[in-house]
Structure 1
Amino acid sequence: MQVKNNEIEQVKSVCRQQIQGMLSKNIGLLSMIISHDADFVHITGKHQSKDDWLDQIKSGRMEYFSAKEELLEVTLSNKTAHVVMRNLLEARIYGFRNTWPIEAQTELVKINDVWRIVRSKADMY
């Protein structure tokens, strides 16, 4: 049971690091915790690669100002994790600034003993 709890805390840490990386525009951190072939699905349904998403953050087309975590649930299955995370996310996306209630369904895989984000789908809740 201790091992499972430790794994859950590691997964939560990666998810929280993603939020912190978004807020601080820490592209190095985001690059480290996100798999090179990750798929991001925005609330519009648009799919975006890791590189495209990071380029949007670098250019300021997607700018994140604050996040208030309301939920963070982790389900483990061997070397995969499914996370449901809800945040009130203040951001300017393509020129529109708002605070959105965002639920991310995020998938992580443990690669060489390190959890990496491989997919994240955002919806409003």
Structure 2
Amino acid sequence: MATKINEEERVASVVRQQVKGMIDGDLNILYKVIAPEATFVHITGTTQSKNEWLKQIKMGRMHYFGSKEKLMQVVVNEDTAQVISRNELDARIYGFRNTWPLQSRTELKKNNNQWQITKSQASMY
């Protein structure tokens, strides 16, 4: 018997795929789950486009080692969604490695029945 997945679970899955793609260095999955026009606001306040951020990952300037999910709150409103998540993220960013307690506010939209990330803003909690 197949289990039906609700929209909140589908949205949470996309955010988790992004985190897994970051840790695995899997640019293919990141290109899939992130919309072309997406923007990322880092804890420093720096804003990057999808392509700029993925270029930093590809070059090794942003390298992710692991993540422990602490919170995942999902709100879906028809074809848009917002996720508040908290992760302890082990990463080396521009040469500095640390485990950061990050809270992300992630916005998603649904196109052709597929959820994609359109914006993510990170802060420390």
**TM-score between the two structures when normalised by the length of structure 1:** 0.96
User: Displacement, 1:78?
Assistant: 1.2
**TM-score between the two structures when normalised by the length of structure 2:** 0.96
Counterpart of 1:30 in structure 2 is: 30
Describe the superposition over 1:13-67 as per-residue Cα deviations: whole angstroms up to 9, x where unpaired: 0000000000000000000010001010000111000000000000100000000
Counterpart of 1:51 in structure 2 is: 51
Describe the superposition over 1:51-109 as per-residue Cα deviations: whole angstroms up to 9, x where unpaired: 00000000100000000000000011111000001000000000000000000000000
Q: What SS does the corresponding residue of 1:19 show, helix, strand or coil? A: helix
Counterpart of 2:21 in structure 1 is: 21
Q: Which runs of 4+ in 1 moved over 6 A?
A: none
Q: Which segments of 5 or more consecutive residues in structure 1 lack a partner in the other structure?
A: none
Computed over aligned residues only, the root mean square deviation of the Cα atoms, in angstroms, reads 1.0
User: Displacement, 1:117?
Assistant: 0.2
In structure 2, distance between residues paired with 1:48 and 1:9: 27
Answer yes or no: is 1:97 the counterpart of 2:97: yes
Counterpart of 1:87 in structure 2 is: 87
Total equivalences in the alignment: 122
* Percent of residue pairs bearing the same amino acid type: 53
Q: Which segments of 5 or more consecutive residues in structure 2 lack a partner in the other structure?
A: none
Answer yes or no: is 1:7 the counterpart of 2:3: no
Counterpart of 1:60 in structure 2 is: 60
